[in-house]
Amino acid sequence: MTANSRCSAAEPPGLETQRREIESLLRECELRAGDSWYVMERRWYEQWKEFVETGDQNSSSFPGQIDNTELFEDLDSYHLKERLVENEDFMLLPAEAWHRLLDWYGMVEGQPALERKVVDLPSTLKVEVYPVEIFLCLHSNMENVITAQFSRADSIHSIQRAMCDAFTVPPGSECRLWMKSSDSSCERLRNVHVSVLDACLSSGMTVIMETRNADGTWPSSRPQIMRNSVEDQDSYRGQPGVCGLTNLGNTCFMNSALQCLSNTPPLTEYFLLSSYLEELNFTNPLGMKGEIAEAYADVIKQMWSGRHYSVVPRVFKTKVGHFASQFLGYQQHDSQELLSFLLDGLHEDLNRVKNKEYIELRDAEGRPDQEVAEEAWRNHRRRNDSVIVDTFHGLFKSTLVCPECHKVSVTFDPFCYLSVPLPVSKERVMEVFFVSLDPYAKPAQHRVVVPKAGKVSDLCSALSEMTNLPSTQMVVADVFNHRFYKIYNADECLSCILDRDDIFVYELSVLEEQQEEQVLLALYLRERSHYRDYGSGSSSYGTSLFGHPLLLSVPRSCCSREELYKLFLQRLTRYVRPPGPSEELEEEEEDEEEEELYKTQTNGISDEEEQEDAEKAGPSQTQPCCGGSSTNSQSDESAAAKRPPDVNHAQPSLDDGDTEPENQTEPVCSAGTSNTDANAVTPSGDSSGTADAEPPAEQPQPPCETTEEEEKEEDKQEEACSPSPPANEQPAKRKACRKRRKSLFTIQAVNSNGTTERGTGEGGSAVSFSSQPYVAIDWDPEMKKRFYNENEAEKYVKHASMEVPQQQTTVQLQECIELFTTVETLEEENPWYCPVCKKHQLATKKLDLWSLPEVLIIHLKRFSYTKFTREKLDSIVDFPLRDLDFSGCLLRKSLSNGEPPSRYDLIAVSNHYGGLRDGHYTSYAWNKDNGQWYYFDDSKVTYAREDQIVTNAAYVLFYHRQDRIRTPSLPPPTSSPASSSTQPANDITSCKDDDDAAELGAASSSSASMETD
């Protein structure tokens, strides 16, 4: 850059010629971005002008060598002085004019030529007199700082090259740059192809370079790594790719998807070779500015470094949530939905097409399929060209036929994965509890098969065949939190009943002479509080529901309180013990307020009735059981979420027809457990409330699910949180004139929630018949403790139908693919606009496979959603591990020379265990280097056998075309460390190990109880 020669060997032209040439260059040269101009001291330039204007070669005004001494602060650093002014302190010359003057006059020895670039500033072009002066250093040695000047037009890549040269960074090292401003905040310089100006680099800033570690991490953001011990941190060397992913909280869906993609050879090799660095697209408005691709690359390089047991993908999770808000937080999601987002995001971040052109799509219009398909694929590649398209995109043919004019529309559309449906059964298995009229019979749990599109009457008919009772004597209800959420009519659809609902079917009594009107009475059980409910705005006593509600068919004439008391007592005989002859239950005189609360609207029972009921009741059973009642408060009600009967949970065993208790700690579906009652029974079964307690027995109830978050549950919780006023108070206060027989409970008309109380009905009856009548019987806590046996009340038996194993249906993958290509009629919500009829039509649609990608992803649509129902299909799909042949499915039957075959081998499977709203994701994957199958369960990785891979949990399948599969470079592992208690949970253990093989088998089986995230 310096020119120290005095004058060039060639003689300069005449002075007039010099003047004309330089003035012409100054007059004609325009500023163009990126061009070089030179700074020259104005004094020297003015003296040169004076010299050439004299026309005398021997004039005393000869300028001598070009000298810019006055422009520098000092002659050591040659820094320009601050605030120099153009045309006063210096002149700007275009490169050609500068070089001519340099040739004619030379330059003072040692001085650098002041070359400056033309930069394109917003709305103007300008010569950059003062370049950007920045400090450069390595992350590994922040003390060694050098200073360098760069033009604002220079690229960040030129800074990176200069730093690699200055710090002698080994060639081939993967580097990244950080920009640090004066306030100590650092920012990544992601796009190395932008200019210094666009990167907002200014003088005084520091650029820090770091190189990737051997284990795939970056020094500046070394993540948490799951290690065995401190000693293993740097010494561990494992099989590359065999690395777990830590669950950050419900992120097993993400881990499963990442493990499948990590074991897709062409994509992983693309990232391991850092090919993505040259293809990052920072300007794509549909992309994520390269951040998703970089975050994914970091995870892959760490997993395939062979230096980690498990990696924590926290940065990747944060990036995904930033660009896709549905994945924010730590809720459970669908692994296929994440795969769809990730493949699309990687494609847009790595799209080689920087400016997408508009392409108008054409219909086939009778042209040959081959021609139309090639045109469609060309058009697709003109806008979409990335490693994702190269690896995962195929083409299918879509044929639409108008049902009216029979217009045929043929288009060819690209796909990234195939979502194939599973054959859906037209029948449904339901589990219900049947409550018999026999007061001594326990509720029986039945499993019935009903039509999916059937009605409630079909459920009653199916139950009728099992019980030999007419279906007309049955009524179906949904029980939630000790109350009826809904009482169904016989003509209502079964689709509105969810599998998790607690369905009770009640047998109703039928009089021989149907001359009198029958009333369907809903009965709730409530317990009065010991304390007044001052928060309700009155000095009354609060109540809380407990136990199971009942439905009874009662003659209208028997709705007086006295008749209902007898009926209820008889109906509850199994778990309500009438007082014996020796037990005195006489009411004592109390103050007016207590009398008003406890003795209004009651009817005594005669000694004969008590004696008769006592004989029926049998021996005394007085022990209260935990889980029988719930406190009617916001916190307790919301905690008692609804759970459906579920045979996959630990069910209590049956002994002599009864469901005997096991160590079950969950509440029964409709009996919310309060903390007070739960503490009433000690672990040894001793009751603190009674001396003659029964043997210990915990609730033998169907276990519950507490993870559902549907609107129905929200509605139920709102209803459950309503405050419970106590029994009505008589308008007129009265005192007891004499002692009389006291009732076990009082009867009160209530609303459907069992909270708001109503007045008495017409004609002195206890209920109102204007709508569905609901009645509650209110128990004094002491009376409930003595005469109500909660343990007995919660018992149920299992019908023989519950013991019959459910048939596991198996379908072939080929059936699912054929179902994908069958003709279907479009739904009303998604009609097709016919260009001939000029209106939307419900056309028939058929999809056919035309060309397949190198890696084929098949998504099994296990989750079925309709207007009313949502279900997961647990059918086993039998898919081949090798030689999946699509030749019979491809529309293009004859393959020309050079076209790839259509046989595929399985390389990965994403599994889902559990139900709709909860569950757990794992994956199986085939390692490309050693040909071994592995089972990935978050941070734990174990060997897998091929016979374990096909299960009813398989959700997303990854197939690799056989012609692109390379032979593994390493032999499969033959031995492994023995399993022991000190071995880490995420260590590799051989499938020859009995314990681990059993564990894998359990994880793969359909009845596995997988841990819910």
Distance, in Å, from the CA atom of 953 to the CA atom of 912, rounded to the nearest integer, reads 5
**Residue 910: strand pairing partners:** 923, 956
Distance, in Å, from the CA atom of 632 to the CA atom of 672, rounded to the nearest integer, reads 10
Instruction: State the virtual CA torsion across 889, 893, 896, 897 in degrees, nearest 10.
Output: 60
H or E stretch covering 422:
none
CA nearest 996: which of 936, 943, 954? 943
pLDDT, residue 974, reads: 67
pLDDT at residue 602 is higher than 50: no
CA nearest 651: which of 818, 837, 447? 447
| 41-50, 336-345, 871-880, 966-975: range with highest mean pLDDT | 336-345
Distance, in Å, from the CA atom of 521 to the CA atom of 767, rounded to the nearest integer, reads 9
CA nearest 335: which of 819, 1013, 1009? 1013
Helices (H), 640-699: 675-678
pLDDT, residue 726, reads: 41
pLDDT, residue 613, reads: 43
- Three-point CA angle 353, 356, 358, nearest 5°: 150
φ, ψ for residue 658, nearest 5 deg: -100, 155
H or E stretch covering 848:
strand 844-851
pLDDT at residue 660 is higher than 50: no
CA nearest 251: which of 309, 299, 218, 216? 299
pLDDT, residue 269, reads: 95
Between 684 and 374, whose confidence is greater?
374
β-pair type (839-841, 745-750): unpaired
**Residue 857: strand pairing partners:** 958
Out of 323-337, 388-402, 429-443, 883-897, pick the least confident.
Answer: 883-897
DSSP designation for 624: -
C-alpha pair distances (Å), 966 with each of 268, 885, 923, 928, 929: 14, 19, 22, 8, 9
H or E stretch covering 847:
strand 844-851
Neighbours of 923 (CB within 10 A): 28
Distance, in Å, from the CA atom of 437 to the CA atom of 551, rounded to the nearest integer, reads 10
**How large is the average pLDDT for residues 910-914?**
93
Distance, in Å, from the CA atom of 542 to the CA atom of 258, rounded to the nearest integer, reads 54
Q: How far is CA 826 from the centre of its chain?
A: 29
**How large is the average pLDDT for residues 962-971?**
87
H or E stretch covering 860:
strand 855-861
Q: Strands (DSSP E) along 139-205, which ranges?
A: 141-150, 175-180, 186-189
Helix, strand, coil in percent for the chain, rounding step 5: 25, 25, 50
pLDDT, residue 59, reads: 77
- Residue 599 pLDDT grade (very low, low, confident, very high; cuts 50, 70, 90): very low
Q: Which residues contact 103 (CB under 8 A, 6 or more apart)?
A: 8, 10, 12
Three-state SS string across 706-773, please? CCCCCHHHHHHHHHHCCCCCCCCCCCCCCCCCCCCECCCEEEEEECCCCCCECCCCHHHCCCCCCCCC
pLDDT, residue 55, reads: 76
Q: What value does the CA radius of gyration of the chain take, rounded to a whole number of Å?
A: 42
Q: How far is CA 912 from the centre of its chain?
A: 12
Out of 225-234, 576-585, 806-815, 970-979, pick the least confident.
Answer: 225-234
Between 1009 and 757, whose confidence is greater?
757
pLDDT, residue 678, reads: 36
Distance, in Å, from the CA atom of 284 to the CA atom of 292, rounded to the nearest integer, reads 13
pLDDT, residue 584, reads: 59
pLDDT, residue 979, reads: 32
Percent of the chain scoring above 70 in pLDDT: 73
Three-state DSSP state, 58: coil
- Which structure tokens are listed for 915? 């139900």
Rounded to 10°, the helix 291-303/252-262 angle is: 80
Per-residue exposure over 315-332, b if at least 16 CB sit within 10 Å of its own CB, e if not? bbbebbeebbeebeeeeb
Distance, in Å, from the CA atom of 770 to the CA atom of 761, rounded to the nearest integer, reads 9
Q: Which residues contact 737 (CB under 8 A, 6 or more apart)?
A: none
Question: Do residues 244 and 302 touch, judged by C-beta distance below 8 A?
Answer: no
pLDDT at residue 201 is higher than 60: yes
β-pair type (863-865, 654-655): unpaired
- Residue 985 pLDDT grade (very low, low, confident, very high; cuts 50, 70, 90): very low
C-alpha pair distances (Å), 307 with each of 69, 163, 213, 571, 810: 58, 29, 11, 70, 41
Mean pLDDT for the chain overall: 77
Q: Which residues contact 776 (CB under 8 A, 6 or more apart)?
A: 523, 524, 525, 526, 543, 545, 747, 748, 749, 750, 754
pLDDT, residue 634, reads: 37
Out of 211-225, 559-573, 933-947, pick the least confident.
Answer: 211-225
pLDDT tens per residue, range 39-58: 999 999 999 988 888 877 77
Give the type of residue at 484. F
Neighbours of 631 (CB within 10 A): 22
pLDDT tens per residue, range 166-193: 998 888 888 989 888 766 678 888 888 8
- Which structure tokens are listed for 795? 């018992």
Three-state DSSP state, 316: helix
pLDDT, residue 772, reads: 75
Distance, in Å, from the CA atom of 708 to the CA atom of 916, rounded to the nearest integer, reads 9
**How large is the average pLDDT for residues 374-388?**
93
Neighbours of 624 (CB within 10 A): 24
Distance, in Å, from the CA atom of 99 to the CA atom of 608, rounded to the nearest integer, reads 129
Rounded to 10°, the helix 265-272/252-262 angle is: 90
Q: What is the largest CA-CA distance in the chain?
A: 150
Three-state DSSP state, 471: helix
pLDDT tens per residue, range 359-378: 887 877 888 889 999 999 99
Q: What is the pTM for the complete model shown?
A: 0.63
Give the type of residue at 61. S
**How large is the average pLDDT for residues 878-884?**
93
Percent of the chain scoring above 90 in pLDDT: 31
Distance, in Å, from the CA atom of 793 to the CA atom of 99, rounded to the nearest integer, reads 106
Distance, in Å, from the CA atom of 41 to the CA atom of 93, rounded to the nearest integer, reads 11
Neighbours of 669 (CB within 10 A): 28
pLDDT tens per residue, range 504-542: 999 988 765 556 778 888 999 998 876 655 554 444 568
**How large is the average pLDDT for residues 635-663?**
38
pLDDT tens per residue, range 926-948: 999 999 999 999 999 999 999 99
Instruction: State the virtual CA torsion across 452, 454, 455, 460 in degrees, nearest 10.
Output: -90
**Residue 400: strand pairing partners:** 409, 845
C-alpha pair distances (Å), 560 with each of 553, 602, 690: 14, 11, 34
- Which structure tokens are listed for 211? 């190189």
β-pair type (418-421, 855-861): parallel
pLDDT, residue 927, reads: 95
Out of 560-564, 634-638, 781-785, 893-897, pick the least confident.
Answer: 634-638
Between 852 and 598, whose confidence is greater?
852
Catalytic site residues?
252, 920
pLDDT, residue 587, reads: 54
pLDDT tens per residue, range 829-839: 888 899 888 89
**How large is the average pLDDT for residues 629-647?**
39
Distance, in Å, from the CA atom of 973 to the CA atom of 949, rounded to the nearest integer, reads 19
**How large is the average pLDDT for residues 91-107?**
91
pLDDT, residue 758, reads: 63
pLDDT at residue 666 is higher than 90: no
Between 606 and 60, whose confidence is greater?
60
Between 986 and 443, whose confidence is greater?
443
Between 108 and 630, whose confidence is greater?
108
Q: Which residues contact 55 (CB under 8 A, 6 or more apart)?
A: 15, 16
pLDDT at residue 351 is higher than 90: yes
Neighbours of 884 (CB within 10 A): 21
pLDDT, residue 922, reads: 96
pLDDT at residue 818 is higher than 70: yes
pLDDT, residue 598, reads: 35
pLDDT, residue 2, reads: 40
- Which structure tokens are listed for 775? 């009645």
